[in-house]
Amino acid sequence: MSGLVPTAILVLAAWAYPRLRPGLRATLALVLGLFGIVAGIEGAYYTVKRGPSGDDFTGLLSLAAGALLVGIGLATLWRSRRREGGRARRYARRGLIGVGAFVALFFVLVPFYLTYVFTHVARGFVPPPELGAAHEEVSFATADGLRLEGWYVPSRNRAAVIAFPGRRGPQRQARLLVQHGYGVLLFDRRGEGESEGDPNIFGWDGERDVHAAVEFLRGRPDVDPDRIGGIGLSVGGEMMIEAAAESDGLRAVVSEGAGIRSLREAALLEGGDRLEAIQFAFFTLGTALFSNDLPPPSLEDLVGRIAPRPLFLVYARHGQGGEELNPVFYEAAREPKEIWEIQTGSHTGGIEAEPEEYERRVIGFFDRALLRTR
């Protein structure tokens, strides 16, 4: 669908363009031109990071074509502007058109355009390891045949925790866990760093990566298969929830900063935040199209399936991405469950804002869940 639908739209646009009035021709050129520029971001990014290859070349051509179309659209608007009637009426009309265009751009086009970037561009490099202990370079395969690359610090207490996503964001949490004897696995999720696959900023299908990580840890001689946990940050917290709901391989889950990943969660917003739900309708539509996938289940529906394994939800009062929905998720979850609202700090910034309390709560949670006598 990600190939067929855009191709069909471009063919239809090429057929309709000469048959349209100047104003509609200009609008069509601007809409497609802006998308051409956005689609070219992928080629420009990877050209800068590691040199051009494959579809990076057509991406660079898309940048040039998009800029040309935007120029044509603006020129057409200028040449076809109306001059009849009074000045006040003309400027009032143009002002209303401008306001309507801004609303459409902000709520419809920008969310839709960004989903192309979200499903095509991800961090293409691996950060330096700062894990507080020696680590092993590891790799493992997902059920759908992708090779994922990562680091593993062996366990000293027979328990291990997956710190997710990526090899940069959760390094501080990893160091904390290593200090307390836990084995820690960090890895590039699909489409990121050195791992195979296509990226998806909202983490759709990312639970498959977590399942593969659990199976890797199950095969480690230093790990008790019944003492595997996970800590996920932001979208990683969302994927941890889904993975734990689908399989009992994760015996304990800390989800920090989970929020909105599709319209399913955005529909839970209330009051003025419902404007965000409108944007997420187009985020969801675009992500489904460009990832060839359907939206994942609602986190509200998933959290209730984790029990009797313990779940710990952490969120910041001044967070982002819909993490204010964590009390909703908490209500839907079943015991044993915990929740902590961090009064200071930002999105996934609890370990920096309240390091001692963070250590007490998170390490205490894993100690009770994974190290107690069975």
Q: Which pLDDT tens digit goes with each residue over 89-113? A: 777 877 887 888 888 888 888 899 9
pLDDT range class, residue 6, cuts 50, 70, 90: confident
CB 352 within 8 A of CB 324: no
pLDDT range class, residue 273, cuts 50, 70, 90: low
CA distance 101 to 26: 12
pLDDT in tens, 293-311: 999 999 999 999 999 999 9
Q: What is the mean pLDDT of residues 124-143?
A: 93
List of domains in the chain: 4-118 (no CATH), 136-261+296-371 (3.40.50.1820)
Six token digits for residue 255: 């989800």
Q: Among residues 304, 156, 302, which one has the least CA distance to residue 227?
A: 156
From the CB of residue 206, how many other CB atoms can be counted at a distance below 10 Å? Answer: 28
Question: Is the pLDDT score of 327 beyond 70?
Answer: yes
Partners of residue 202 on adjacent β-strands: none
CB 222 within 8 A of CB 158: yes
Can you tell me whether residue 314 is helix, strand or coil?
strand
Instruction: Write down the pLDDT at residue 107.
Output: 82
Please tell me the least confidently modeled range out of 27-31, 72-76, 122-126, 154-158.
Answer: 122-126
Question: Is the pLDDT score of 374 beyond 70?
Answer: no
* Strands 183-187 and 147-153, sheet pairing: antiparallel
Average model confidence (pLDDT) across the chain: 92
CA distance 353 to 339: 17
The structure's pTM equals 0.90
| Interacting residues of 318 by C-beta distance below 8 A, sequence separation 6+ | 344, 345, 346
Six token digits for residue 236: 């990683």
From the CB of residue 139, how many other CB atoms can be counted at a distance below 10 Å? Answer: 14
CA distance 204 to 200: 6
Q: What is the mean pLDDT of residues 112-136?
A: 90
pLDDT in tens, 206-249: 999 999 999 999 999 999 999 999 999 999 999 999 999 999 99
CA-to-CA separations, 46 to 40, 63, 218, 333, in angstroms, rounded: 10, 14, 35, 41
User: What's the angle, vertex CA 134, arms to CA 133 and CA 136, rounded to 5?
Assistant: 135
Q: Where are the alpha helices (DSSP H) in 228-273?
A: 235-246, 263-266
